[in-house]
């Protein structure tokens, strides 16, 4: 069973892109026509209706307590309890959806904030009420539960969830031990809170003077903007200043990260896992070989990554790329505007290979106001898809700014939304939720289709060069190699702590720098990774998430493989993608689902499609560059 709030919250968070959109000319929400704002009335027609539901809900939730200690009485009782639990969970998610989206549309409205905190309280109470279910099921034993399953066909929707509970059974402890583990959770979560509080609230920010005399306070947002500056010295200054701000506290930050690693080790050991990796990957049942073969795939394909780094240096007119150049786009000569009305049409056309039903549903999303489009004052930044309102439809939050990147974000979030839509429509509620391991497949799949479509559509060499480069920057550098580099670092620091060795600032700096230099071919003269990059480990919050980032890389590789099959019209490919991914939710082990959908991530060959695409793109870019350089010379 999936009675685990933290996992659910993380799943929701993941669906957002980690790209804060910068709203330059934000307006008041009331200034936008309704058609560009999401319609929350299908969730509750009025606020009054939601208030009524809130008070009804807690009374109904109390009824669950009546089943405590009685799950084993009969197959019928067992089913009644689970039915009630999932009905309540479904209702609560609809309330949460409403409250979170109300706050996100304008975070300044105190009425919405109050509503959100009321619903959070309801969630805490409900978790407390339902907490007896998992331990009681385990105490009944697999034999008894299987007997219930055989006797009562009404339990079929719970079959997979129950088998997962028993698969992990040997890592579930005795009741008194579980009580201690639950109490310890407050402590083991502390390093993560400490890190975010320290880096968000207490870390001091330096003020620097740019080449043109402008003074800038080096917040993370300022760094993100300046690392793309065309002025070399400003860019280097941004890197040095931001990393330096963290480096000043490297002893403290190392100790906090060490604390987090020890917490992971404590959990793994207490639950009798061989390693922290095995413990972390066991929740959705991912084989640890997937993790290690992903790292192998990166190493085997360094040649492709280095080719990319050299090509970038050439495009930027440099003899060798520096780590501080990596956020520069391949070309500044073009931008592809994408106003929202045109973007909708382009996306509909790009998604045509997925068939009529898919395209019609996307059209419905546009017409029926599933999407909150433009940035307004007080609106939550970034973008996400929310698929929690099981019987209604998913919603999308955007901060659309009419740029090509915004069109890609729309395609991305639409991928999540369609995944939720088809899974919610085809799966019973208990198996509708998809695992984070497959979550980023449907989203990057759509980005691939969008990119492919645009490549065929644009006519000028510059636009083509821009699109190809944009794909390489995002997918090859940003998602594939960078996230695997982080995943490898994460594995190394965990293993060190598992061996009983300490993590100090010197150790972390050296490990991070050595690994970065290996990935970027520093010693082979491919790209320069300066010494101060050693501090980057302390800038990245993901190392606190317990083996999380590798899923970005597996997903993008799987999406590349699956979308290529669909684009090539490979027989059965589209149906497999529909049936085993889009419609499958969390009905089976996520690795098995992906395998049936056509991407076997246990096989290193699964990564080949992405590498092939990258090399194909680079072939084309080299030809375009030859042509553009020749034209430039002739013009002079
Ligand atoms: Zn996403």
Question: Ligand 1 centroid to 103 CA: how many Å?
Answer: 21
Q: How far is the CA of 440 from the centre of ligand 1 (A)?
A: 5
- Backbone region of residue 394 per phi and psi (left: phi > 0; alpha: psi in -120 to 50; beta: other values): beta
Rounded to the nearest angstrom, the gap between the alpha carbon of residue 28 and the centroid of all alpha carbons in its chain is: 29
Name residues whose C-beta falls within 8 Å of residue 142's C-beta, 6 or more positions apart in sequence: 166, 169
**Section 211-237 average pLDDT:** 93
Confidence of residue 200 (pLDDT cuts 50, 70, 90): confident
Q: How far is the CA of 15 from the centre of ligand 1 (A)?
A: 4
Whether residue 1 has pLDDT greater than 50: no
With cut-offs at 50, 70 and 90, classify the pLDDT of residue 636.
low
Which residues are 396's β-sheet partners?
371, 385
Q: How far is the CA of 417 from the centre of ligand 1 (A)?
A: 10
Question: Shortest CA distance to 396 belongs to which of 427, 419, 424?
Answer: 419
Output the CA 415–ligand 1 centroid distance in Å. 8
Burial class for 562, CB neighbours closer than 10 Å (0-12, 13-18, 19+): buried
- Tell me the DSSP string of 248-277: TTHHHHHHHHHHHHHHHHHHHHHTT-SSHH
d(CA 544, CA 263): 10
What are the CA-CA distances from residue 372 to residues 55, 243, 397, 412, 512 (Å)? Answer: 29, 35, 5, 15, 40
The answer to whether residue 15 scores a pLDDT higher than 80 is no
State what percent of residues in the chain have pLDDT above 70.
96
Nearest-angstrom CA–CA distance, 270 and 280: 13
Ion ligand 1, residue ranges at CB < 5 A: 443
Distance 565 CA to ligand 1 centre (A): 21
Please tell me the predicted confidence (pLDDT) of residue 22: 44
Query: How much is the pLDDT for 13?
Result: 37
Tell me how far the alpha carbon of residue 455 is from its chain's centroid: 26
Q: What is the mean pLDDT of residues 596-619?
A: 93
Q: What is the pLDDT of residue 174?
A: 78
Measured over the CA atoms of residue 187, residue 189, residue 195 and residue 200, the dihedral's sign is negative
Count other C-beta atoms under 10 Å from residue 246's C-beta: 17
Domain spans of the chain, in order of start: 5-172, 274-334+460-631
**One-character DSSP codes across 276-341:** HHHHHHHTTT--HHHHHHHHHHHHHTHHHHHHHHHHHHHHTT-SSEEGGGTTS-S-SS---B--HH
Spatial distance between the Cα atoms of 568 and 428, rounded to a whole number of angstroms: 33
E strand residue ranges, 158-270: 207-209, 215-217
Residue 582: pLDDT band with limits 50, 70, 90 = very high
Residue 10 predicted with pLDDT over 60: no
Ligand 1 center to 71 CA (angstroms): 38
CA-CA distances (angstroms) from residue 278 to 214, 415, 485, 499, 594?
A: 50, 30, 19, 15, 20
Please name the CATH architecture into which domain 274-334+460-631 falls. Orthogonal Bundle (1.10)
pLDDT band with cut points at 50, 70 and 90 for residue 3: very low
Q: What is the mean pLDDT of the segment spanning 547-575?
A: 95
pLDDT of the residue at 102:
94
Q: What's the whole-number mean pLDDT along residues 530-557?
A: 95
CA of 14 to the centre of ligand 1 (A): 6
Q: In what order do the strands lie in the sheet with 395-397?
A: 371-372, 395-397, 384-386
| Gap from CA of 369 to ligand 1 centroid (Å) | 20
Measuring CA to CA, how many Å separate 628 from each of 315, 317, 635?
A: 10, 13, 10
The C-alpha atoms of residue 504 and residue 517 are separated, in whole angstroms, by: 20
Q: Beta-carbon neighbour count of residue 71 at 10 Å?
A: 22
Residue 401: closest CA among 445, 360, 453, 343: 343
Which CATH architecture fits 5-172?
Answer: Up-down Bundle (1.20)
Q: What is the mean pLDDT of residues 566-591?
A: 96
| Among 521, 321, 633, CA closest to 625 | 633
Residue range 163-186: mean pLDDT, rounded? 85
How far is it, in rounded angstroms, from Cα 118 to Cα 127? 14
Domains 5-172 and 274-334+460-631 share a fold: no
Ligand 1 centroid to residue 232 C-alpha, Å = 32
Condensed to tens digits (0 to 9), the pLDDT of residues 306-357 reads 999 999 999 999 999 999 999 999 998 888 999 999 999 999 999 999 999 9
Residues 418, 361 contacting (CB under 8 angstroms): yes
Give, as one character, the DSSP assignment of residue 378: T
Q: pLDDT tens, 84-132?
A: 999 999 999 999 999 999 999 998 888 999 999 999 999 989 988 998 9
What is the rounded (10 degree) CA torsion for 625, 626, 627, 629? Answer: 80
Cα(273)–Cα(281) distance, integer angstroms: 11
And the tokens for 580? 């085993």
CA distances to 347, 411, 465, 600 from 343, rounded to whole Å, are: 6, 9, 20, 33
Question: Is the pLDDT at 8 greater than 90, yes or no?
Answer: no
Instruction: Tell me what pLDDT residue 19 has.
Output: 41
Q: Evaluate whether 555 touches 441 at the Cβ level (below 8 Å).
A: yes
Lowest mean pLDDT among 25-29, 161-165, 615-619: 25-29
- Flag whether pLDDT at 207 surpasses 50: yes
Strands 395-397 and 207-209: unpaired
Q: Where are the alpha helices (DSSP H) in 427-569?
A: 436-457, 461-471, 482-498, 505-519, 550-567
Q: Are 100 and 116 in contact (CB under 8 A)?
A: yes
380 Cα to the center of ligand 1, angstroms: 16
pLDDT at residue 411 tops 90: yes
Q: Using alpha carbons, list the distances in angstroms from residue 321 to 228, 294, 466, 559, 623.
A: 14, 26, 18, 29, 20
Q: Is the pLDDT of residue 16 over 50?
A: no
In the reported structure, the alpha carbon of residue 413 is separated from the centroid of ligand 1 by a whole-number distance in angstroms of 6
Q: Which of 227, 208, 231 is nearest to 218 (CA)?
A: 208
Q: What is the pLDDT, as a whole number, of residue 173?
A: 84
CA distances from 284 to 48, 323, 414, 502 (A): 39, 36, 24, 30
Pairing outcome for strands 395-397 and 371-372: parallel
Q: Which residues are catalytic?
A: 413
Task: Classify 406 as helix, strand or coil.
Answer: helix
Residue 480 CA, ligand 1 centroid: distance in Å: 14
Q: Which helix (H) or strand (E) holds 12?
A: helix 5-14
- pLDDT digit string, tens, across residues 250-294: 999 999 999 999 999 999 999 999 999 999 999 889 999 999 999
CA of residue 37 to ligand 1 center, whole Å: 21
State the helix-helix crossing angle for 436-457 and 590-597, rounded to 10 degrees: 30
Looking at the chain, the whole-number percentage of residues with pLDDT higher than 90 is 83
pLDDT at residue 25 is higher than 60: no
Task: Supply the pLDDT for residue 533.
Answer: 97
How many Cα atoms within 13 Å fall on the side-chain side of residue 129? Answer: 22
Check residue 23 and give its pLDDT: 43
Average pLDDT, stretch 58-64?
95
> How many separate helices (H) and strands (E) can be counted in the chain?
26, 7
Three-state secondary-structure class, residue 383: strand
**How far is the centre of ligand 1, averaged over its atoms, from the C-alpha of 586 (Å)?**
17
Averaged pLDDT of the chain? 92
Token digits for 364?
Answer: 């419905």
Write the DSSP string, 603-622.
Answer: SGGGGHHHHHHHHHHHHHHH
Q: Where are the alpha helices (DSSP H) in 37-74?
A: 47-62
> 383 CA distance to ligand 1 centroid (A)?
9
Token digits of residue 521: 């071919």
Span from the CA of 398 to the centroid of ligand 1 (angstroms): 12
């Amino acid at each position: 069973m999936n009675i685990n709030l933290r996992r659910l919250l993380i799943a929701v968070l993941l669906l957002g892109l980690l790209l804060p959109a910068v709203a330059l000319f934000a307006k008041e929400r009331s200034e936008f026509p309704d058609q560009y704002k999401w319609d929350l009335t299908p969730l509750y027609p009025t606020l009054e209706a939601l208030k009524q539901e809130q008070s009804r809900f807690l009374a109904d939730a109390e009824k669950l307590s009546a089943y405590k200690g009685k799950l084993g009485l009969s197959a019928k009782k067992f089913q009644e309890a689970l039915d009630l639990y999932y009905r309540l969970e479904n209702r609560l998610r609809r309330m949460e959806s409403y409250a979170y989206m109300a706050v996100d549309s304008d975070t300044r409205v105190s009425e919405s904030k109050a509503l959100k905190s009321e619903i959070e309280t309801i969630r805490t109470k409900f978790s407390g009420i339902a907490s007896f279910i998992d331990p009681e099921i385990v105490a009944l034993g697999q034999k008894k539960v299987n007997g219930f399953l055989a006797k009562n066909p009404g339990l079929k929707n719970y079959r997979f969830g129950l088998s997962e509970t028993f698969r992990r059974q040997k890592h579930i402890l005795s009741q008194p031990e579980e009580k201690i583990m639950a109490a310890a959770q407050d402590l083991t979560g502390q390093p993560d809170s400490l890190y975010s509080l320290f880096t968000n609230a207490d870390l001091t920010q330096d003020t620097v003077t740019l080449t043109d005399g402008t003074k800038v306070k080096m917040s993370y947002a300022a760094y993100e903007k300046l690392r793309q500056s065309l002025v070399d010295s400003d860019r280097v200054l941004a890197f040095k200043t931001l990393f330096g701000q963290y480096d000043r506290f490297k002893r403290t930050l190392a100790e906090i990260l060490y604390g987090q690693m020890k917490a992971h080790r404590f959990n793994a050991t207490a639950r009798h896992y061989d390693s922290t990796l095995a413990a972390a990957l066991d929740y959705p049942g991912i084989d640890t070989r997937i993790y290690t073969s992903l790292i192998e795939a990166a190493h085997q394909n360094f040649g492709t990554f280095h080719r990319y780094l050299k090509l970038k240096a050439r495009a930027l007119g440099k003899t060798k790329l520096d780590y501080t150049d990596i956020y520069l786009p391949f070309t500044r000569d073009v931008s592809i505007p994408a106003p929202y009305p045109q973007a909708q049409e382009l996306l509909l056309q790009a998604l045509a290979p997925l068939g009529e039903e898919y395209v019609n549903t996307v059209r419905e999303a546009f017409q029926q106001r599933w999407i909150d489009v433009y940035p307004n004052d007080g609106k939550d930044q970034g973008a996400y898809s929310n698929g929690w309102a099981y019987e209604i439809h998913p919603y999308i939050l955007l901060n659309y700014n009419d740029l090509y990147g915004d069109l890609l974000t729309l395609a991305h979030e639409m991928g999540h939304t369609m995944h939720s839509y088809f899974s919610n429509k085809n799966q019973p509620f208990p198996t509708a939720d998809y695992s984070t391991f497959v979550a980023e497949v449907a989203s990057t799949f759509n980005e691939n289709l969008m990119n492919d479509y645009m490549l065929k559509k644009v006519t000028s060499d510059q636009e083509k060069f821009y699109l190809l480069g944009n794909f390489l920057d995002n997918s090859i550098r940003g998602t594939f190699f960078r996230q695997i580099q982080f995943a490898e670092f994460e594995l190394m620091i965990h293993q060190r702590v598992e061996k009983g060795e300490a993590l100090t600032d010197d150790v972390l700096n050296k490990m991070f720098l050595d690994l970065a230099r290996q990935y970027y071919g520093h010693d082979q003269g491919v790209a320069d990774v300066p010494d101060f990059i050693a501090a980057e480990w302390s800038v990245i919050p993901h190392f606190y998430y317990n083996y999380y980032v590798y899923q970005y890389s597996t997903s993008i590789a799987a999406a590349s493989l699956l979308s290529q099959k669909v684009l090539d019209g490979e027989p059965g490919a589209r149906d497999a993608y529909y049936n085993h991914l889009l419609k499958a939710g969390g009905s089976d082990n996520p690795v098995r689902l992906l395998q049936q959908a056509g991407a076997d991530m246990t096989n290193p060959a699964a990564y080949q499609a992405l590498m092939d695409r990258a090399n194909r793109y680079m072939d084309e870019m080299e030809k375009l560059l030859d042509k553009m350089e020749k034209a430039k010379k002739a013009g002079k």
